[in-house]
Amino acid sequence: MSVFRHGLFKGKVALVTGGGTGIGKAITEELVTLGCKVVIASRKMDRLSKAVEELSPKESKVEAKVCNIRQENEVKNLISSIIKENGKLDFVVNNGGGQFLSSVSNMSTKGWNAVIDTNLNGTFHVCKEAYHQWMSSHGGAIVNITANMFRGMPMMAHSGAARAAVENLTKSLAVEWAQNGVRINIVAPGSIYSSTAKSHYGDHDLFGNSRPGIPAKRVGTPQEVSSAVCFLLSPGAAFISGATLRVDAGASLYSPQMYQIPEHKNLPAYEWKFKEDEEEKPKAKL
């Protein structure tokens, strides 16, 4: 189901990275409902195949392709195969990404690089190849999925740094590619519950802990993110580019609750002491 007009995206072709689970799956489902042909891509074929079976069991509205967005050559092959098989690529949704809970002090360089490579470099690879292989000559719309990282992301600083970089990248590309008819925007979800996300964080009650810091006093749903994405891809957003749409019920404006700092006295106020008799006197000229 969708709040948008039936057949809005009829004849369009979209790529959704990470489109087999969670938010990506909801985006794929709504695009299909609106008549779009969707190619979903991620590293794991089993998840992709399951999503295809659930979303498009009797027709070929959803197609799965394995791709590690960290690898530039794999992304090149992904984009070229989509264009070869479908004749076009109208939309790209960069949803693929991931992170893990860790303080920076306990984070390895390998772990840091893995998240930066996926969330930032992967988005860069997909945007660049979509542009070079199709959109530079035919235009198109791109939506990058980031996160509520506007006041930092304690315990997920690697992801926060990558997502903030994607926001700046998006602003730059909105200007550079405007002359080619390309619009590029961001949807920044807040705390969005899905069974996939829940299982990813294990015993950590990430959603329960975040709820007090959300003005709506509830977490969001993947469908509430997908409708925002579809709007930015639609003709209704024809004059919107380089923008970030926060889907967080105002949580980014509210006092954070997810990360609690214990009482401590380790940042004392500096005591300034002035004594007139200790002031430096002008030195005599020789």
**pLDDT per residue as tens digits for the range 79-94:** 999 999 999 999 999 9
Q: Do the domain assignments include residue 165?
A: yes
Inside any domain, residue 5:
no
Domain assignment of residue 97, given as a range: 13-278
Give the bridge partners for 220, in sequence order: 192
Q: CATH no. for residue 85?
A: 3.40.50.720
pLDDT digits (tens, 9 = 90+) for 207-245: 777 888 889 999 999 999 999 999 999 999 999 999 999
Residues of the chain with pLDDT under 70: 58, 198, 200-204, 256-258, 274-286
pTM more than 0.95:
no
d(C-alpha 200, C-alpha 276), whole Å: 62
Structural domains in the chain (count): 1
Q: CA-CA distances (angstroms) from residue 203 to 90, 197, 198, 199, 206?
A: 40, 12, 9, 8, 9
In a domain, 3, yes or no: no
